[in-house]
Amino acid sequence: MKRLILSIFILLLTLGPVNADEGMWLPLIIKERIPDMQKKGFRLTAEDLYSVNQASLKDAIVHFGGGCTGELISDKGLILTNHHCGFGQIQSHSSVENDYLRDGFWAKTMEDELPNRGLSVRFLIRMEDVTKEVLSSYNSNMSEEERAKLVSEKSAAIIKRATENNHYQARVEALYYGNQYFLFVYEAFNDVRLVGAPPSSIGKFGGDTDNWMWPRHTGDFALFRIYSDKDNKPAAYSKDNRPYVPKRFFTISTNGVSEGDFTLVYGFPGRTQQYIHSDAVRYITEKSNPHKIDLRTKRLDIQREEMNKSQDVRIRYASKNASVSNAWKKWQGESRGIEKLNTINEKIEFEKGFNKWADGREEYKRVTERLGELYRNLEPYAFATDYYNEAIIANEIIRFAGTISAAIKRNSKMTPQVSAANIKNMLEAFYKDYYLPIDKRSFIAIVEQYSKSVPSHMQPAPFKEMLSQYGSVSSLADYIFSESLLASPEKIYAYIESGVDESSFNNDPAFALYDIFYSNHESNVKPVTDEINREINLLYRTYMRGQMEYRSNHSFYPDANSTLRITYGNVSGYKPSDAVYYKHLSTLEGIMEKDNPDIYDYNIPQILRDVYKSKDFGKWEVNGTVPVCFIATNHTSGGNSGSPVINADGHLIGINFDRVWEGTMSDIAFDPDVCRNISLDIRYVLFVIDKVAGASHLIEEMKLAN
């Protein structure tokens, strides 16, 4: 226990060197980084960034929809985030008659703003190091099960205290693999309305071709508004709600950026794995990513082919296609970056040095060796899990069968009629965005790949029997998609009219196939995976402490886990390959160079062509054009989408939305030479709102500074 406390003390107080601009820092202890930030040009204090005693910039930031970030830009609850973060909401309001994806949407008045069922945002109220309390009763003689129970009980008590007599939410999160624990207290708002979004030809300009790439010309932004009750407190949607008045909102700088300028990204990065073992990196790079990329390529090719045939199908699958594509392209860049950076060998060399240092330290002896053994044991089960997720559950009709089965079990105490009403609501949401030909073609392609790639002894025996019975995956698909009730909305609506219970779909082939794979995964794969991962995670707790002692002059930031973080750096171009250098800024000229009416992703709105032709750029003009995007050295990840990018004075200069393809390995290994975050220049946002949308009333809400 003393050693644990000492390690945490080292973790918090050690401020040695770290790679330039690397790190995702907790706002509560950002004052330890302020000297380094000031060297880079920062002019504010730690209290300006994070404070519980006064309004600070953290109060202008929201966790948007649980997976993105947003920022307040007016005193009337106006939120700025990414177009791709609000894509699902924009798509849900779209139809062939009102195609907001194609044409954009701009509310002329607050009464025109569109509510979004299920969308919420939350503010961080405070964070607190609760390690001492969580582990106060721990002793080294405890088993891991006893320790886990202790952590759970202590965390529950801390959460109860933090949320007693208030409307807040709270979570206790483990950092550094359970060497440290932090309490995070949030205030959540559930009435969040769509205010404005550019056409996808601006908000998603370049589509999958440009995704993760630089130079970038995507106007990736959307506007939402938080509504509250008359007391400025969270409330369910009501016409009587009023715009939320924030504690703090961002002033917007129209000065723009220059090479070398200080930048700070403040948001909720999702997940990173900076400290993992070399064998984990090897599996990701050499086996997992290549197979997942191949499976998604098959799905994407089918989706795009069908979407190109029909506007209706394009609308239905726009959000799904973007979701599938995003990770698909990221995995490609990640594997390439890890290979180029020689990360696996770098990890191996680090582990050799660690092992030599650990030789006389019993606690750390054989830790890396044992991790290697465990990863080799885990690999076949991880591979089977990858295929279960990407080739079985990825099929819409099969996944939905599982969703309905779970819902029926949850509703088992309800009457069959009430349960049927709940299922009907789920069916309506499913069929709104479903197109059977895409799902059937995808099923044939990826289940066929499953049958070829997953070792026979890890495939469910009933599935192999079905293949033998029908002769091929294609014939099996014919059977499922002709006989399953889920393949016909008319049939299933009629079927559930009299009610449903747990036996209702026992003979349905889609439900049967889901049960076959789910049972196999739960019985034969997941238990082994869970058991190995338990030991891996336990070893990582020790390995993490060991790394911090071994490199005692190094700063260790916690891996991202969707909690609020600060990352900082400077505006900078980069050299991706020999004889190539990318500048830090893209402009409207690049959009016009790419504009192509014959390609959906590059077919910009005619009004943008007209504005460009007339050169009517207004106050947003810089050197005869309009800045669009810029890159900087901030260490970002998924979840940072929509994060505010601020300058040395804390003014908003951009919206983070992506990383460069060559640097997508930054979740595992950060390379300051090529890792760049891509941000939308705030001047382009204002230009589009003003000159393209004609929604200058929204700009009037904002506070602009030169």
Tokens 């969270």, residue located: 234
16: in domain? no
What's residue 5's pLDDT? Answer: 44
107: in domain? no
What's residue 591's pLDDT? Answer: 98
Distances in Å between the Cα of 438 and the Cα atoms of 388, 395, 434 are 19, 10, 8
Distances in Å between the Cα of 439 and the Cα atoms of 25, 92, 400, 436, 596 are 42, 20, 12, 5, 30
333: in domain? yes
The Cα 531–Cα 524 span in angstroms is 12
The one-letter amino acid code at 580 reads V
Structural domains counted in the chain: 1
493: in domain? yes
Catalytic residue chosen out of the listed positions 74, 641, 643, 666:
641
The Cα 645–Cα 380 span in angstroms is 42
Instruction: Please tell me whether the peptide bond between 215 and the residue prior to it is cis, using omega within 30 degrees of 0.
Output: yes
What's residue 418's pLDDT? Answer: 63
Encoded tokens for 157: 């008590």
415: in domain? yes
318: in domain? yes
User: Could you tell me which residues come within 8 angstroms of residue 252 by beta carbon, excluding any fewer than 6 positions away?
Assistant: 73, 651, 652, 682, 686, 702, 703, 704, 705
Instruction: Count the alpha carbons within 13 Å of 604 in the hemisphere toward its beta carbon.
Output: 22
Tokens 């460009």, residue located: 612
Within 561-651, strands assigned E span 565-570, 574-577, 580-582, 585-587, 627-632, 644-646
What's residue 11's pLDDT? Answer: 45
Catalytic annotation present for 220: yes
515: in domain? yes
What's residue 409's pLDDT? Answer: 85
What's residue 21's pLDDT? Answer: 81
The Cα 176–Cα 15 span in angstroms is 16
Distances in Å between the Cα of 229 and the Cα atoms of 64, 257, 587 are 20, 39, 42
Binned average pLDDT, 10 residues per bin, the chain of 706 residues: 43 49 95 95 97 97 97 98 96 92 96 97 98 94 92 98 97 97 98 97 92 96 98 97 98 97 98 97 97 98 95 91 92 95 97 96 95 98 98 97 91 71 90 96 98 97 97 98 96 89 90 97 97 95 96 94 98 94 97 93 95 96 97 97 98 98 96 97 98 98 94
Encoded tokens for 32: 């330890």
Q: What are phi and psi of 635, to 5 degrees?
A: -90, 100
288: in domain? yes
What's residue 20's pLDDT? Answer: 65
Contact indicator for 84, 220 with CB cutoff of 8 Å: yes
What is the domain extent for residue 409? Answer: 278-549
pTM, two decimals, is: 0.89
What's residue 135's pLDDT? Answer: 96
CA nearest to 303, candidates 323, 291, 317, 316: 317
CA nearest to 296, candidates 257, 332, 350, 256: 332
Sign, Cα dihedral of 459, 460, 463, 468: positive
What's residue 419's pLDDT? Answer: 76
- Cβ atoms within 10 Å of 412's Cβ, excluding its own: 10
Counting every residue, how long is the chain? 706
Tokens 């005193």, residue located: 75
Catalytic residue chosen out of the listed positions 63, 84, 521, 651:
84
Catalytic residue chosen out of the listed positions 59, 99, 210, 220:
220
What's residue 31's pLDDT? Answer: 94
Tokens 């349960």, residue located: 419
Encoded tokens for 401: 């069968």
